[in-house]
Amino acid sequence: MTPVAAAKPFTAEEEKVLKSWTAHYPYPIMGLLEALRQVQLWNLCVRPEHEDYVASLFKTTRTRVHELVTFFPMFTQAPTGRKRVGLCHGLSCALAGSDKMAKCLEDKLGVPEGVTTKDGEFSWEEMECLGACDFAPALLVNEDLQGKATEDVVAKVARGGK
């Protein structure tokens, strides 16, 4: 994933949404993961400035926020592509040929795993079991399951779904 300059500040509307997560559950801290998930969706990553803002909002430490950001693979510290492609490499998917589909993704998108295309449109990564073993090797674009990865499906994803 490609590093970029400093993060843009949150808009007033975004700040409102993040603040709402402090009041969503019985204890404010319980909304922290959802707030970070929202930050990842808006910015395609969670930057140090975001961690600072969220830590202060949830009255916790930046270290605690950073621990979450670096523990959960859904969070990245540099921007993913606008289309974040996930290929499962769990056992069922490995047996069904996920390695071959990883090579196919690299060829069709023109970038290795974890690198974002120059236009910022795509990045791809291997993921743990997506809970879709029936579709092994399972392929995800953002939060949408594409089903079983084949060369045709990967080519369609690389064309932007057309």
Helix (H) or strand (E) holding 122: strand 122-127
Strands of the sheet containing 122-127, edge to edge, are 122-127, 83-88, 138-141, 144-148
Helix (H) or strand (E) holding 100: helix 98-109
Pick from 35, 105, 132, 157: which binds ligand FES (CB under 6 A)?
132
Q: How far is the CB of 104 from ligand FES (least distance, A)?
A: 16
Between 17 and 129, name the residue whose CB sits nearer to ligand FES: 129
- Residue 136 interacting with ligand FES (CB under 6 A): yes
* Part of the chain binding ligand FES (CB under 6 A), chosen from 50-58, 73-81, 130-138, 139-147: 130-138
Q: What is the dihedral of CA 54, 58, 63, 64, to 10 degrees?
A: -120
Q: How far is the CB of 72 from ligand FES (least distance, A)?
A: 18
